[in-house]
């Protein structure tokens, strides 16, 4: 039975194996911990993520490596995105620490273990080269997030958000799975690289393939949170504990970008004209509804939820302009601009939710716009940090958000779709209103709470570093831009 069994090369998957082992070990160690602050669990979770980053760097290669019967791929794009995922998760856990300690329902070892399993799911998604692997990674991430949203069982809003997320997430997973099964039926393979080869050969059932593509794009659109599959985002962002909202809104976007690239660009590039037409509609609708709905919000988490919808719509513009009328000359430029955009977005989102967590305390969420009134009088420095974050999200020069938008727009213009660039600029200008409203509240309104803003030293340093990174990378964006271009050049 095992005569033909080939031992897979475990080196490309070393970070995943290490993290899986560490997550299980931390789960067992936490059972013996008597410290109510869970300091050991927190430190071990951070060490696990740092260890993953070190292993990732040492096992990285410029060559594309396949293992586990071509189900798992290790390339430069995977290495780069995973390192950004580790960095984001380290920051997320640091930001969450004080918030979790203030809430007994969340101050459990399971919070850190679920965060590690969610990270493992993202890593598997990023390196997936098979429909089965994508689905395993996606469900590992999704199930961890469902549990984290519902961790505060005493909160009716959190329980309701978890139920909505679970039901709609299951529906989206079903659509994705149905699309994958139809593509399998049309091509006869589950492996993404083989699907691309068979589509080039042309001997496939085009009707079944297009139907499968519609379901596939619908499932991906849900995971990205773009219109019309966005209905879960405002409710989940608002209802989930802020520490969990930070996690949902940041690192998973990197994994979602990776599976869009793997599936649509890596496997279905010959059907680019079909899926690009769908993505253009999703993109324009997301920018329109996301920016217009955000204006009406009084809750900052809901405002950032609609902002996320518009940002993901903007990111999709880069992917829609990679291939124009069968010409792939602009592909690298377009896809690297989309990758740079999603990295910049994660950095800005981490900072925005970090500021909400900084201002939150026991029994107080600090997630309404009015909570930021007069912040400049309470803490000029942190008001300045929030100003940098809001300016960057609005696309004001010279912050990283401006260059992220600029790189996508120049890719759209280079592809000849000028009308699309004009639409994107118009909706960006509309979106600037609700970001600048936060700045107006901080600097021109009287504070509702006069007490000085206090926070642990590590939290203050990290928030400051996050704000400074947004400003510095806006002045020197070339490093990350060139990294994205290089990663995609070596991987696609």
DSSP, res 297: -
On the question of pLDDT at 1 being above 90, the answer is no
The alpha carbons of the chain give a radius of gyration, in whole angstroms, of: 22
pLDDT digits (tens, 9 = 90+) for 446-457: 888 777 777 788
Determine the pLDDT at residue 180. 93
On the question of pLDDT at 24 being above 60, the answer is yes
Is 390 within 8 Å of 438 (Cβ atoms)? yes
* pLDDT bucket at 363, cuts 50 / 70 / 90: low
pLDDT digits (tens, 9 = 90+) for 97-111: 988 988 888 888 899
Query: Among 466, 453, 33, 426, which Cα is nearest to 250's?
Result: 466
CA atoms lying within 13 Å on the CB side of residue 130:
15
Q: Tell me what the mean pLDDT of segment 458-478 comes to.
A: 91
Question: Which stretch of 7-16, 32-41, 360-369, 376-385 has the lowest confidence by average pLDDT?
Answer: 360-369
Determine the pLDDT at residue 416. 82
Q: What percent of the chain stands above pLDDT 90?
A: 66
* pLDDT bucket at 335, cuts 50 / 70 / 90: very high
Determine the pLDDT at residue 289. 95
- Count Cβ atoms within 10 A of the Cβ of residue 293 and give its class: 0-12 exposed, 13-18 middle, 19 or more buried: buried
Cα-based distances in Å from 329 to 18, 212, 374:
39, 27, 50
On the question of pLDDT at 348 being above 90, the answer is yes
Determine the pLDDT at residue 359. 86
Is 294 within 8 Å of 390 (Cβ atoms)? no
Determine the pLDDT at residue 71. 92
* pLDDT bucket at 327, cuts 50 / 70 / 90: low
Q: What is the mean pLDDT of the chain?
A: 90
User: What is the residue extent of each domain of the chain?
Assistant: 11-491
**Residue located via tokens 């007069």:** 374
Q: Say whether pTM exceeds 0.85.
A: yes
On the question of pLDDT at 371 being above 60, the answer is yes
Question: Which stretch of 186-190, 290-294, 425-429 has the lowest confidence by average pLDDT?
Answer: 186-190
SS3 call for 128: strand
């Amino acid at each position: 039975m095992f005569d033909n069994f080939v031992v897979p090369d475990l080196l490309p998957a070393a970070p995943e194996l290490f993290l899986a082992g560490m997550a299980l070990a931390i789960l067992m160690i936490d059972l013996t911990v008597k410290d109510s602050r869970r300091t050991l669990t927190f430190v071990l979770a951070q060490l696990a993520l740092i260890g993953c980053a070190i292993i990732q760097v040492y096992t990285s290669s410029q060559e594309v490596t396949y293992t586990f019967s071509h189900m798992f791929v290790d390339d430069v794009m995977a290495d780069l995105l995973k390192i950004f995922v580790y960095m984001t998760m380290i920051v997320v856990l640091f930001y969450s620490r004080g918030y979790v300690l203030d809430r007994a329902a969340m101050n459990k070892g399971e919070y850190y273990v679920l965060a590690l399993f969610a990270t493992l799911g993202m890593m598997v998604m990023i390196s997936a080269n098979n429909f089965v692997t994508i689905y395993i990674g996606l469900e590992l991430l999704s199930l961890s997030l469902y549990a984290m949203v519902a961790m505060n069982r005493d909160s009716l809003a959190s329980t309701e958000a978890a139920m909505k997320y679970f039901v709609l997430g299951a529906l989206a997973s079903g659509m994705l799975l149905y699309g994958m099964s139809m593509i399998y039926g049309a091509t006869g393979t589950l492996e993404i690289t083989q699907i691309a080869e068979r589509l080039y050969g042309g001997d496939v059932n085009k009707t079944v393939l297009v139907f499968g593509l519609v379901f596939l794009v619908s499932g991906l659109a849900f995971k990205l949170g773009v219109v019309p599959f966005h209905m879960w985002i405002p409710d989940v962002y608002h209802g989930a504990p802020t520490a969990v909202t930070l996690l949902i809104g940041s690192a998973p976007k990197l994994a979602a970008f990776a599976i869009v690239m793997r599936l649509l660009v890596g496997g279905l590039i010959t059907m680019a004209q079909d899926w690009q037409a769908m993505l253009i509609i999703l993109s324009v609708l997301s920018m329109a509804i996301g920016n217009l709905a955000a204006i009406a919000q009084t809750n900052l988490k809901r405002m950032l939820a609609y902002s996320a919808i518009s940002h993901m719509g903007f990111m999709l513009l880069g992917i829609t302009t990679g291939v124009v009328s069968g010409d792939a000359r602009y592909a690298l430029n377009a896809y690297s601009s989309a990758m740079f955009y999603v990295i910049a977005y994660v950095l800005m989102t981490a900072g925005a939710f970090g500021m909400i967590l900084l201002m939150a305390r026991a029994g107080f969420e600090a997630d309404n716009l009015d909570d930021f009134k007069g912040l400049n009088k309470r803490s000029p420095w942190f008001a300045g940090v929030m100003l940098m974050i809001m300016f960057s999200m609005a696309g004001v020069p010279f912050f990283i958000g401006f260059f992220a938008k600029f790189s996508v727009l120049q890719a759209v213009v280079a592809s000849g779709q000028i009308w699309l660039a004009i639409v994107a600029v118009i909706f960006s200008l509309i979106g600037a209103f609700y970001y600048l409203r936060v700045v107006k509240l901080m600097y021109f309104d009287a504070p509702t709470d006069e007490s000085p803003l206090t926070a642990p030293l590590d939290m203050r340093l990290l928030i400051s570093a996050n704000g400074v990174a947004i400003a510095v990378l806006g002045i020197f964006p070339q490093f990350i831009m060139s990294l994205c271009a290089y990663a995609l050049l070596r991987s696609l």
